[in-house]
Amino acid sequence: MTARVIDGGAIAAGLREKVAATARRLAQDHGITPGLAVVLTGDNPASAVYVRNKATQTEAVGMRSVVHRLPATASAGELLDLIAALNADPTVHGILVQLPLPPQIDPHVVLAAIDPGKDVDGFHPLNAGRLATGLPGLVPCTPLGCVILAKTVLPSLAGLSAVVVGRSTIVGRPLVHLLLAENATVTIAHSKTRDLPAVCRGADLLCAAVGRPELMRGDWIKPGATVIDVGINRVAGEGGKHRIVGDVAYAEAAEVAGAITPVPGGVGPMTIACLMANTLRAAAARAGLPPPELSV
């Protein structure tokens, strides 16, 4: 079997188009331009690239982008003061604090200070709790993107055996709750799981969020399964260059799976598209409007 490739770039572009069209209507009908504020603390080069991409894509879908930069020496107090100002700013509908933060600042304190209605990353404990208890709220972007991608090839996840490898609060845990909400039968695996290959082989839907280059081999995949690879790992390539690979050995897995996301070009592009969608949702909710219809 050669797996169908789930083209995250194209699916993300479709979602961004929907967001842009809905944002235009929000402006025309209600005079609202959704605004996303991103806070970058310190000078981590990867974070700077992510923040730039987010700002560019925010403007490309017709929303307002504001980037606040704080030095690496900033105190927790300075960051909390900025968040308080953004919470109070009616032109800001979404607030994203780029992680990681410098070591002197506790990310949990900072994330809990964001107004949950503006928490477009979905990391506030209130939104995490709403997701875990099956209530509507803002949901973390990467797992949201994973479910959207899976549903492009599996319109119903009901009753499927889904295995999520990785239990981080950013990806694995929220993904479990999203899959449960889709009525999948969910197993969550992690570094202490016994016989991980056998657990993975039971999966109709295998989601890898581990951060270990090509950990999952072809013989870990159930024939015909759908594989969603969240991993982004930099490994040495030819000629002293680097290349990016996922947590799944793509070429081997593609021989066995029914459908698979590539790395790059799978989950990655969906994350920022889902951030745009969350900013729009936050703006609509703030205005007392129903949640925008954004299915792709």
By CB under 6 A, the residues from 207 to 266 that bind ligand NAP are: 209-212, 215, 230-233
- Identity of the residue, 39 or 270, whose beta carbon is nearer to ligand NAP in the bound complex: 270
Cα atoms found within 13 Å of the Cα of residue 214, Cβ hemisphere only:
13
Q: Provide φ and ψ at 63, rounded to 5°.
A: -105, 170
Q: In what side-by-side order are the strands of the sheet with 35-41?
A: 64-70, 35-41, 94-97
Q: Which of 18, 57, 98, 115 is catalytic?
A: 98
Q: Provide φ and ψ at 239, rounded to 5°.
A: 65, 30
Distance CA 158, CA 181 (A): 9
Alpha helices in 114-221 (DSSP H): 125-132, 141-153, 172-181, 196-201
**Burial class of residue 135 (count of CB atoms within 10 Å of its CB; 0-12, 13-18, 19+):** exposed
- Total residues contacting ligand NAP by CB under 6 A comes to 26
Smallest distance from ligand NAP to CB 126, Å: 21
Smallest distance from ligand NAP to CB 66, Å: 22
- Is 143 among the residues that bind ligand NAP (CB under 6 A)? no
Amino acid at 262: P
Q: How many residues does the structure list for the chain?
A: 296
Smallest distance from ligand NAP to CB 239, Å: 24
Q: Is 18 a catalytic residue?
A: no
Q: Which of 121, 204, 229, 247 is catalytic?
A: 121
Smallest distance from ligand NAP to CB 264, Å: 9
- Is 177 among the residues that bind ligand NAP (CB under 6 A)? no
Smallest distance from ligand NAP to CB 216, Å: 9
- Is 276 among the residues that bind ligand NAP (CB under 6 A)? no
- Is 128 among the residues that bind ligand NAP (CB under 6 A)? no
Span from 161-169, 177-185, 220-228, 277-285 in contact with ligand NAP (CB under 6 A)? 161-169
Closest CA to 113 of 82, 71, 89: 82
Q: Which residues bind ligand NAP (CB under 6 A)?
A: 142, 165-168, 170-172, 189-193, 196, 209-212, 215, 230-233, 267-268, 271
Give catalytic residues, as residue numbers: 54, 98, 121
